[in-house]
Amino acid sequence: MSPSANWRSFWACHALKIVVIHVLAFPLVLSCAMSLLARRSSDVHQWLPDGFQEAERHKWFIEHFGADETAIVSWPGCTLDDPRVGRLASALVPSYDGQESPNDGPVTNGESPLFERAITGPQFLRILTSPPYRLSRNIAVDRLSGVLIGPDEQTCVVLVVSPAGEANRAAAIQQIYELGQTQCGLSSNEMHLGGPTVDGAAIETESQRSLYQLACLSACVVLLATWQRLRSIVLALVVFIVAIYSTMLCLTWMYLSGGVMNLGLVILPTLIFILAVAMAVHLVNYFRDAAEESGLASAASEAIRRGWQPCVLSAITTAVGFASLGISTTQTVRLFGIYAAAGTLTTLFLILVLLPSLMQLLAKYSMITPCISLPKARAEAAPLLSVIQHGVLRWSFAVVPFAIFAMALASAGLWGLSASVSIENRFSSKSRLITDYQWLEKHLGSLVPIEVVVRFREECRLDLAQRAQLIEQLEDLFKQHDGVNGTLSLTVFTPPIPEGGGARQAMQRALINRQISRLSPQFERWNLATSEGNDHLWRISARVATLSDIDYGDLVDRLHDDVTQCIATSENSGTEIVFTGFIPLMYKAQRLILEDLLKSFLAAFAVIGLLMMLVVRNVPGGLLVMLPNVFPFVVVFGVMGWLGLPVEIGAVTTASIALGITVDDTLHYLTWFNRGIAQRMSVQNSLTFAYQRCAGAMVNTTLICCVGVMVFSLSTFMPTVRFSRLLAMLLLAALVGDLVLLPAILASPLGRLLRQGVRRKPVAESCQSASTNSVTV
């Protein structure tokens, strides 16, 4: 029995069984997928790199001073004398009475509270002006300025979120709005919220919107685009069903492996869905060709016989592109790459097994007529592709040098790439979160802390008053830098430290020493001081602007240099400074984003390059065929560098994704070109043959992928928006590389390197194949 007969026999005997097995498995797959979608996380730490010194230092800081995730609330007229400040704090944290320590626990009444502490400007003002501090109102207001009090005595309510609130940030924010309305008569438009809890709630809300609204919209758009490109509703539905099932299987693997859905992974289901559609469209292209040449009865088996090799190679290269993200230092990017690679290989299995089974059954029962619409679709697509084809063949001698020149020019812009992870670049400027931050920073002050821990070792000779004096000097030093608008430390509660060596000054310092020693337990409860062994740790929280053009990395470096110089004296021996907080973490993340982008792309390029060398059977040819696949990366990211557009975490994934998808089209084009060469066609006839056979499918897959991912540009989460736009641009640039640059390379003398391993058929057999394919130039 011939191989073709074996293929036909397999699908004729097993197609129905394969479909029934997958239908029976669908309820379980659906259940696992839905369970994963309900398992969400909005922890912002997963967007930051791990495994480096700054991350460990931040963990150390949290262990000693607590995480204290907070939500900050203010409104017009929220001043120190506004009674609504106390009413809102008491409504959200019943234990708050404005008199006690800001660390008193909540009254639970048998329920899990969403907030465990409330801190307000009037509360701290009352503490500072009462015994034992007895500061004047003006001095107390000045000390709290830039932290709890803004211009014109504008103040706020700082709410420390409980574990229950962290688990459901959206509910915590909703409670603020509801109690603000019922207890204080404040509408949601009057209240302005900020802080990590509000950021997390916004991310969680956008994650749900992307999962359920934008993903569904993207699926509908892809279905319509597939129908429009294939000109067959039955074929479009078959492709759609297989793509949906592939996506759910990918989510099932994530669920079974203990994965959690977050905003970094929210576009993954749609990406797998679009990849499945793209792979299916290529196989449908083989199916339509087989149906046109040998009839519907054997079209499915013939399509697999012709297309399994490029489909497998393209899926493997795409999976390699995803897997290269596994070397990223960012957890979200790393998981994205691993799950996407697994999803791609799962999709390959379904494309080679389930899709032909469905087409075999539809053909058997005469429910599909692909050949009717095929000539019309080709005729409509032919004029533009024909113009491109003839232009490339005619000017191939100029296309390759011009492309290399364009890549060289664009590559100069790669050195100008910069990274960004600031909150201003994560949300739209018109979003509620950004407008609230703008209002809070204008009326209250900066909100983002740079945490500085001063370690006084056991051998340090400074007494408590001298240590407080050193803290004051450091705070004054911080405030001299643009961008630092306020500081908070235990010196808020200490009287001015006297200078000089007289008896009176010595007595005052002795009193201050006793006061600091007596209040040490309270400072520890306020997370302003603690100890580690015999060392004492005092905390300074410097506040910097959230929305600004400040170079945080440069600011941290300047602060570090000034502080190091300040404590580099003999009397300060035994004193160390530790910088931590989100600002240093973001600074480190900015640098590692670019490193991850380069490392992941080079890793994908190296592995895919080796695979291409095996495909074309020589090393120079493998490197040459990678040129059109590198083309989109160099051009798009180079232009970004020239224009000064920042690179974000999402951009790290797009480079490897685009490389994998680009190789997909390259392999299908080379497959048809090599078949033309094997049939003893001329180079130009082989290029025309490849254009006629797969250029339409390449255009279809690119357009379908682009419209599918561009739906996510409707998101208000800017990394998702920029991810979708950047990936669409890369895919369009990749199409240019595969339809223009690759044929030009094949038509040029360099193309000989790619034709060396092609085995030509005997003359009689090639003549028969040529007459069957009837290629015209």
CATH architecture of the domain with range 448-545+550-580: 2-Layer Sandwich (3.30)
Q: CA nearest 670: which of 309, 242, 257? A: 309
Report the candidate in 525, 489, 559, 35 with the shortest Cα–Cα distance to residue 260.
35
Nearest CA-CA partner of 708 in 288, 354, 240: 240
Per-residue pLDDT for 7 more than 70? no
- Say what the pLDDT of residue 594 is: 67
Q: Are 238 and 22 in contact (CB under 8 A)?
A: no
> Is pLDDT of 245 > 80?
yes
Residue 191 has pLDDT above 90, yes or no: yes
pLDDT, average across residues 184-206: 86
* Longest alpha-carbon distance in the chain: 115
User: Smallest Cα–Cα separation from 43: which of 264, 230, 346, 247?
Assistant: 264
Of 660, 740, 675, 88, which is closest to residue 400 (Cα–Cα)? 740
Structure tokens at 547: 């929305």
Using DSSP bridges, classify how beta strands 535-544 and 484-488 pair: parallel, antiparallel or unpaired.
Answer: antiparallel
pLDDT at 156: 92
Q: How far apart are CA 281 and CA 239, in angstroms?
A: 7
Asked if pLDDT for residue 228 goes beyond 90, the answer is no
Other beta carbons within 10 angstroms of residue 647's beta carbon come to: 23
Q: For the residues of 160-226, what is the DSSP string, one character each?
A: EEPHHHHHTHHHHHHHHHHHHHHHH---TTT-EEESHHHHHHHHHHHHHHIIIIIHHHHHHHHHHHH
Average pLDDT over residues 514-518: 84
SS (H, E, C) 602-665: HHHHHHHHHHHHHHHCCHHHHHHHCHHHHHHHHHHHHHHHHHCCEECHHHHHHHHHHHHHHHHH
How high does pLDDT run on average in the chain?
A: 79
Question: What confidence category does residue 302 fall into, taking pLDDT thresholds of 50, 70 and 90?
Answer: confident
What is the reported pLDDT for 625?
Answer: 83
DSSP readout, 463-481? Answer: -HHHHHHHHHHHHHHHHTS
pLDDT tens string 138-150: 888 888 888 889 8
List the domain boundaries for the chain: 3-43+231-415+587-773, 448-545+550-580
For residue 330, count other CB atoms closer than 10 A to its CB.
24
Q: Is the pLDDT of residue 409 over 70?
A: yes
pLDDT, position 12: 65
Read off the tokens for 438: 């703008």
Of the given ranges (439-443, 512-516, 731-735), which has the lowest mean pLDDT?
Answer: 512-516
On the question of pLDDT at 266 being above 80, the answer is no
Architecture of domain 3-43+231-415+587-773: Up-down Bundle (1.20)
Residue 235: closest CA among 346, 141, 368, 412? 368
Whole-number pLDDT of residue 193: 93
Indicate whether 333 pLDDT > 80.
Answer: no
596-648 pLDDT per residue, tens: 767 777 777 787 788 778 777 778 888 888 888 888 888 888 888 888 887 77
Read off the pLDDT band of 2 (50, 70, 90).
Answer: very low
Angle between helices 683-690 and 649-678 (to 10 degrees): 130
Helix axes 3-38, 331-364, angle to 10 degrees: 130
Query: CA-CA distance, 594 to 613, in Å (whole number)?
Result: 28
Q: Give the pLDDT band of residue 28 (cuts 50, 70, 90).
A: very high
Q: Are 290 and 303 in contact (CB under 8 A)?
A: yes
pLDDT exceeds cutoff 50 at 151: yes
Contacts of 396 (CB under 8 A, 6+ apart): 743, 744, 747, 748
Alpha helices in 644-717, H assignment, sequence order: 649-678, 683-690, 696-710
Rounded to whole angstroms, how far apart are CA atoms 151 and 161?
27
**Is the model's pLDDT at 42 over the cut of 90?**
no
Q: How many CB atoms lie within 10 A of CB 94?
A: 15
Q: What is the pLDDT of residues 555-607, one digit of tens each?
A: 778 888 888 888 877 677 788 888 887 666 766 666 666 677 677 777 777 87
Q: Which helix (H) or strand (E) holds 243?
A: helix 233-256
Which residue carries 């802080």 as its tokens?
Answer: 195
Of 675 and 373, the structure prediction assigns the larger pLDDT to: 675
Of the candidates 240, 362, 350, 236, which has an alpha carbon nearest to the alpha carbon of residue 299? Answer: 362
**3-state class (DSSP) for residue 448:** strand
Mean pLDDT along residues 121-137: 85
Query: How far from 90 is each of 102, 119, 444, 737, CA to CA, in Å?
Result: 12, 10, 21, 64
Residue 39, SS3 per DSSP: coil
Of 287-301, 320-334, 392-406, the range with the highest mean pLDDT is 392-406
Percent of the chain with pLDDT over 70: 83
Residue, of 320 and 377, whose pLDDT is higher? 320
* Contact assessment for residue 157 and residue 88, using Cβ atoms and an 8 Å cutoff: yes
Number of other residues whose CB lies within 10 A of the CB of residue 565: 10
Whether 374 has a pLDDT exceeding 50, the answer reads no
Q: Which long-range contacts (CB under 8 A, 24 or more apart) does 249-253 make?
A: 249/29, 249/343, 249/346, 249/350, 250/339, 250/342, 250/343, 250/346, 250/347, 251/32, 251/33, 251/36, 251/37, 252/28, 252/29, 252/32, 252/33, 252/36, 253/339, 253/342, 253/343, 253/346
- What are 562's two structure tokens? 């000034």
Mean pLDDT calculated for residue range 726-731: 88
Q: How many CB atoms lie within 10 A of CB 430?
A: 8
